[in-house]
Structure 1
Amino acid sequence: MKFLTCLITLLVGTLAFGQMGSFNLGGRSAGMAGASLTFGDEYSLFNNIGGLGRMENHAAFAAYQNRYGVSEFQVVGAGAIYTAGIGNAGVGFYKFGDDIYSEQRIHLAFGNKIQMVSLGVGLDLLQYNVSTVGTSRALAIQFGGIAEITPQLRFGAHIFNLNQAAINSETGEKAPTVMKAGISFLPSEELILNAEIEKDLDFDEVFKAGIEYQIIENVYVRTGISTESFLGAFGVGFHPKNLKFDYAFSNDSRLGSIHEISVAYSFQ
């Protein structure tokens, strides 16, 4: 029975997100179907390390995902960012799965902003655990950047597992290598339009598009779509003063619904 559960978990995990290669975190990103590559917020630590240099204050954050109503597929993540004159540093933790099958990540990162360009680099300790097989670990490098082309247009790019780290030295199996590129158009202070493309070396391209609109002060609504498989998303955010509360609901056409809630606090 455990073997069957493990097998199902592995298959669904692969179909859903390819976990360790592309695992956007935070209700803001989830509400836009993951189209968050050009954001320079707390969750840049997970979504695009290039946005880390755009942070101006220390911050701490946490997020929880309930996927498809199955407790074995839940995701938890948390992190902290320290800002300084020479650059910003961050540390994060991410976990998917349970005792039978799990994927974990400990993440160290550094980012800086030079004029209109923000760059970041990160080192990730990846751990895969299958109760019937054992545990494998790998060190992966990621790199990303965001460029403000004009006040209304931003471009972002990111690559995860730049060094193509091997999970199993005997078989040569490697952790996923994922590349992303995208743009943001800001026609007004209240509206953001995002579009991006994501490519895992082992899978087809994924296209994402999302919209965020500030309806009143401190209150945001979001929506987005993603392909492979088709996913539609909706989200809301409430950002009073230094706090950020975000919630997102999305529905995968093959696997079902996902709920995500996240909270962040900024230390000025």
Structure 2
Amino acid sequence: MKLLTFLFALLLCFTVNAQTGTFNLGARNAAMAGASLTFGDEYSLFNNIGSLGRVENHAAFASYQNRYGVSQFQVVGAGAIYAAPFGSSGIGFYKFGDDLYSEQRVHLAFGNKFQMVSLGVGVDLLQYNISTIGTNRALAIQFGGVAEINTQLRFGAHIFNLNQAEINSETGEKAPTVMKAGISFLPSEELILNAEVEKDLDFDEVFKAGIEYRIVDNVYVRTGISTEPFLGAFGVGFHPKNLKFDYAFSNDSRLGSIHEISVAYSFKK
């Protein structure tokens, strides 16, 4: 069983883009199939640090994800954001896998908003561990931004591993470099329409689209799709006062279903 788990973990490295460098987190993001570049919420710490400067309150959050019904492929992540007048800073932790194969990330970031534009920069300590081979580490730099073109249109962009960090000096293997760009259209206060394209230098482009609709105060429904492989997703959110509870279900056409649940708390300044 351990051998099968190990082989499946290696298969994931080559077939699942979300495990090769994006490190996306949060059920809101997952319910929209990853189309969340322009969201200025707590999870921008993982999804696009360019939106970090738009986070107005201190916050703490955590998320759990189970992939394909296999406990060895769970994702856990957590973080905290400190919002100051001169900008917002954050620290986060992410882990995928178990003792046989795992990917871990410790993340520090800072973002600020200048009129209609917000920018962010981050440094990540990446760790990849394979029990039969050993552990490799690398430092990766990421950069992102979001521009509010008008009250209804936003544009976002992000690049992870800008420095193309090397994770194995003997083989010359580098950590994945992933670029994303996307737009959000807000036709009303209740509705958000997102579209994005993501490009890992070693994989084909991935196209994503997502919708979020607030059906009543503090209650949201979401859905989305993405390509390479095809993935369909939906989810719900309940945001009473300073708390946020979100759930997402998605189905990977190659590997199966994914569940994610997230919780966040904002500390009013």
Q: TM-score per shorter chain, which class?
A: over 0.9
Counterpart in the other structure of 2:137: 137
> Which digits, 9 at most, give the CA deviation of each residue in 1:108-144, with x for residues without a partner?
0000000000000000000000000000000000000
Between the aligned partners of 1:261 and 1:187, the Cα distance in structure 2 is: 28
Matched, 1:81 2:76: no
Counterpart in the other structure of 2:240: 240
Counterpart in the other structure of 2:94: 94
Return the offset for 1:14. Answer: 2.7
Between the aligned partners of 1:75 and 1:238, the Cα distance in structure 2 is: 22
Contiguous gaps of at least 5 residues in structure 1: none
2:189 maps to amino acid? E
Between the aligned partners of 1:2 and 1:264, the Cα distance in structure 2 is: 35
Between the aligned partners of 1:189 and 1:138, the Cα distance in structure 2 is: 42
Aligned residue runs from structure 1 range 88-167, under 5 A: 88-167=88-167
Return the offset for 1:5. Answer: 2.9
> Which digits, 9 at most, give the CA deviation of each residue in 1:214-264, with x for residues without a partner?
000000000000000000000000000000000000001110000000000
Runs of 4+ in 1 over 2 A off after TM superposition: 1-5
Counterpart in the other structure of 1:170: 170
**Does the Cα contact within 8 Å between 1:33 and 1:225 map onto a contact in 2?**
yes
**Does the Cα contact within 8 Å between 1:33 and 1:226 map onto a contact in 2?**
yes
Contiguous gaps of at least 5 residues in structure 2: none
Counterpart in the other structure of 1:222: 222
Return the offset for 1:6. Answer: 1.7
1:176 maps to amino acid? P
Between the aligned partners of 2:48 and 2:12, the Cα distance in structure 1 is: 25
Q: How many residues align?
A: 268
Aligned residue runs from structure 1 range 57-72, under 5 A: 57-72=57-72
Counterpart in the other structure of 1:12: 12
Alpha-carbon RMSD across the aligned residues, in angstroms, is 0.9
Between the aligned partners of 1:92 and 1:18, the Cα distance in structure 2 is: 17
Return the offset for 1:3. Answer: 4.5
Counterpart in the other structure of 1:207: 207
Taking structure 2 as the reference length, what is the TM-score of the superposition? Answer: 0.98
Between the aligned partners of 1:103 and 1:19, the Cα distance in structure 2 is: 8
Matched-pair identity in %: 84
Taking structure 1 as the reference length, what is the TM-score of the superposition? Answer: 0.98
Counterpart in the other structure of 1:257: 257
Between the aligned partners of 2:67 and 2:3, the Cα distance in structure 1 is: 21
Return the offset for 1:10. Answer: 1.3
**Does the Cα contact within 8 Å between 1:20 and 1:103 map onto a contact in 2?**
no
2:169 maps to amino acid? S
Q: What SS does the corresponding residue of 1:155 show, helix, strand or coil? A: strand
Q: What SS does the corresponding residue of 1:229 show, helix, strand or coil? A: coil
